[in-house]
Structure 1
Amino acid sequence: MEMRDISVFRAVMQAGTTSKAAALLGVSQPAVSQSVRKLEIDSELRLFDRVRGRLVPTREALALMVEVDRYFMGFEMIEHRVRSLKSFGLGRLAVAALPALGSGFMPRAIGAFGLGSRCIQMSFQIMSSQQVYQQVSSGQLDFGLMADELSLSGVEHSEFLKVRGVIVMNAQHPLARKPLIETADLLEHPFLALNPEDSSRRRLEGGLRHEGKALRPIIETPYSNSICELALQGVGMGMAHPVQALDYLARGLLMKPLALEICFHTLLVFRPGPPLSENAKDLLRVMRIQLASDLERVVKALGTTC
């Protein structure tokens, strides 16, 4: 198989028609059709059904496209890295965080980091813990923040944060004036839950089982920010990451301590081998300072220790 034919195949899959793919590639439509046919012959796969003059991808084409996209994404990242090296030399920093710390905490930390005064380019991504792990282990990130729900094979790690979850609700909730939420309250009012695979959700259900109780959520969602938004809209109350919940206090969200101690664990992960750059170490130092500040705000909002 030739790389040119694979590139044409990708263009057809992305554009949807041979004519649009031809325009995208700057070649003729017959040339596109010829490349597609050649790839089918070389691969011994039927990649498209011909339906009323159009190419309809087969299941084999869809499966192949996953691998083709993975290849091209890697190549495009190399191109991006080359451009970055031309512009910034080795002064580049790539980090990622899970959503609970990515939307509010990390921008605050990056702001305090003083990026504008440093001769570096930074890539900051918000992604799932699975994606953080994959990109750290493949060397695409200097470090990342992820939850403790996955295997950590192939990466170095340390605990970045362990903090008790909080119950969030709006000011009109029946329990808005209650200072401490009991486990029985979680069963008597509509509850918003993180997805079953979330480690804090599993810990919550384990604690309830120990008391002979079972959680019956009305909604399951993967992220604490969704819990906070739904709580603000009066859908119910739910357990959320307290640092994430800080971002919603100004809009009227209430945070309450839960009598049962259920913690969120965040891990700092980085690739073994070369030491972190000085810029990465500086950012981590600023992140820890910002974290201490955020946790003080959590304590103030709860009127207790976290």
Structure 2
Amino acid sequence: MNVRQIEAFRLVMLTGTVTAAAERLRISQPAVSRLISLLEAKAGLKLFVRSKQRLHPTPEAMLFHREVERSFVGLEKLERAALNIRSVTSGSLRIASIPVVGIAFLPRVIARFRRDHPDVSISLQTRSSVTVIDWVMSSNYDLGFASSTPDQANLQSLAYAAIPGVCILPARHRLVRRKIIEAKDLEGEEFISLDPTDGNRVNVDRIFAGADVRRRLTLEAPYAAVIAAMVGQGIGVSVINPMAALDWPAERLVTRPFVPTVSFGFSLLYRKDIPMSLAARSFLAAMRNEMAELFGAETLLASI
């Protein structure tokens, strides 16, 4: 017996007539009758009694139909599951990220993504780049965002974005009236730096050294989000990835374009040997749109 024969039998049982079953199957009435006859022959059961051009189910047909319905309930569940997967209306997504991307920016992406995919469960964890790389490598996470682009087998690492840094100032700082902050403007300022081992710290220091600008360097923090919090408390100024300042109100912290430009980049990580899910691809599409709206499409480097 095959699926088409079972479908014909089920619809005759549900609708009560060969005519209605044929309409549902979009085939002719003789074709339905032929499918029923083939099923009876294969099953070795008399399923219908033919009387006055109608089919009347036998007791055996009633028992067989009960089993068919149980099977179809499972099949319909599978069909619904496949539809949900195709339309990204279910499933899960696990994301690991460095704090500067994960604390303020990725929640905005998640909000955008959930408007179209409200039933996809999402786990977001923020850790150091080393931990993010390890987690993606071990297949514990679907997507990772790190500050470096490691070269490891089975790990796809793409330079995802490069965003011009901004100067962040306490709201009552003397420089807030300026539309653009130049390196020379920060001469003698209390400057809050990233950790000395951070590549972005090296790039920022190089710019000030090239401009022969001397800052007061008595404060350091490992994450841009911490630096933003310190600036918000009026402790000093800094140049950071603008993602870290997204959620700060203007009455506490002010951002200004900084020249010369220093770019803050990050990478996208995922496993090469594991096909990317439709949910992950939809999430990256939402992320691209959010990046373009906040920082400009020109900041995007990866096309995925």
User: Does TM, normalized by the shorter one, top 0.5?
Assistant: yes
Q: Is the 8 Å Cα contact of residues 190 and 235 (structure 2) preserved in structure 1?
A: yes
Please name the residue that 1:245 is paired with.
Answer: 245
Residue 267 of structure 1 aligns to a residue whose secondary structure is strand
Counterparts of 1:246 and 1:118, CA distance in 2: 24
Counterparts of 1:117 and 1:210, CA distance in 2: 48
Asked if 1:277 corresponds to 2:277, the answer is yes
Alignment of 1:14-29 (within 5 A): none
| Unmatched runs of 5 consecutive residues or more in structure 1 | 1-87, 300-306
Amino acid at match of 2:142: D
Residue 131 of structure 2 aligns to a residue whose secondary structure is helix
Please name the residue that 2:42 is paired with.
Answer: none
Structure 1 vs Structure 2: percent identity of aligned residues? 28
CA apart distance, 1:193: 0.9
Counterparts of 2:115 and 2:177, CA distance in 1: 42
Alignment of 1:33-112 (within 5 A): 91-112=91-112
Out of 209-218 and 187-196, give the one that drifted further. Answer: 209-218
Counterparts of 2:115 and 2:135, CA distance in 1: 22
CA apart distance, 1:281: 0.5
Counterparts of 2:213 and 2:119, CA distance in 1: 55
Please name the residue that 2:122 is paired with.
Answer: 122
Counterparts of 1:171 and 1:91, CA distance in 2: 43
For residues 29-75 of structure 1, give each alpha carbon's deviation from its aligned partner in whole angstroms, at most 9, with x where no partner exists.
xxxxxxxxxxxxxxxxxxxxxxxxxxxxxxxxxxxxxxxxxxxxxxx
| Unmatched runs of 5 consecutive residues or more in structure 2 | 1-83, 300-304
Please name the residue that 1:152 is paired with.
Answer: 151
Give the RMSD, CA atoms, in angstroms.
2.5
Please name the residue that 1:255 is paired with.
Answer: 255
Residue 114 of structure 1 aligns to a residue whose secondary structure is helix
Counterparts of 1:117 and 1:266, CA distance in 2: 26
Residue 294 of structure 1 aligns to a residue whose secondary structure is helix
Residue 206 of structure 2 aligns to a residue whose secondary structure is helix
Please name the residue that 1:11 is paired with.
Answer: none
Counterparts of 1:185 and 1:270, CA distance in 2: 41
Amino acid at match of 2:252: G
Amino acid at match of 1:266: F
Please name the residue that 1:206 is paired with.
Answer: 206
Amino acid at match of 1:169: L
Amino acid at match of 2:200: S
Please name the residue that 1:184 is paired with.
Answer: 184
Counterparts of 2:118 and 2:170, CA distance in 1: 41
Counterparts of 2:226 and 2:126, CA distance in 1: 15
Out of 186-195 and 274-283, give the one that drifted further. Answer: 186-195
- CA 142–184 in structure 1, closer or farther in 2 if over 3 Å, else same: same
CA apart distance, 1:106: 0.8
Counterparts of 2:251 and 2:122, CA distance in 1: 30
Q: Is the 8 Å Cα contact of residues 165 and 262 (structure 1) preserved in structure 2?
A: yes
Amino acid at match of 1:263: S
Amino acid at match of 2:293: S
Please name the residue that 2:229 is paired with.
Answer: 229
CA apart distance, 1:157: 1.5
For residues 232-269 of structure 1, give each alpha carbon's deviation from its aligned partner in whole angstroms, at most 9, with x where no partner exists.
11111111211221211344311112212111011111
Counterparts of 1:164 and 1:117, CA distance in 2: 31
| Structure with bigger gyration radius | 2
For residues 172-209 of structure 1, give each alpha carbon's deviation from its aligned partner in whole angstroms, at most 9, with x where no partner exists.
11211122222223332111111111111111112233
Please name the residue that 1:133 is paired with.
Answer: 133
For residues 252-298 of structure 1, give each alpha carbon's deviation from its aligned partner in whole angstroms, at most 9, with x where no partner exists.
311112212111011111111122011111111111111112226xx
Please name the residue that 1:291 is paired with.
Answer: 291
Please name the residue that 1:197 is paired with.
Answer: 197
Counterparts of 1:235 and 1:118, CA distance in 2: 41
For residues 83-140 of structure 1, give each alpha carbon's deviation from its aligned partner in whole angstroms, at most 9, with x where no partner exists.
xxxxx99933211111111112111111111279555432211111111111111211
**Length-normalised TM-score, structure 2:** 0.63
Amino acid at match of 2:224: S
Q: How many residues align?
A: 209
- CA 216–170 in structure 1, closer or farther in 2 if over 3 Å, else same: closer
- CA 200–174 in structure 1, closer or farther in 2 if over 3 Å, else same: same
Amino acid at match of 1:151: P
Q: Is the 8 Å Cα contact of residues 205 and 214 (structure 1) preserved in structure 2?
A: no
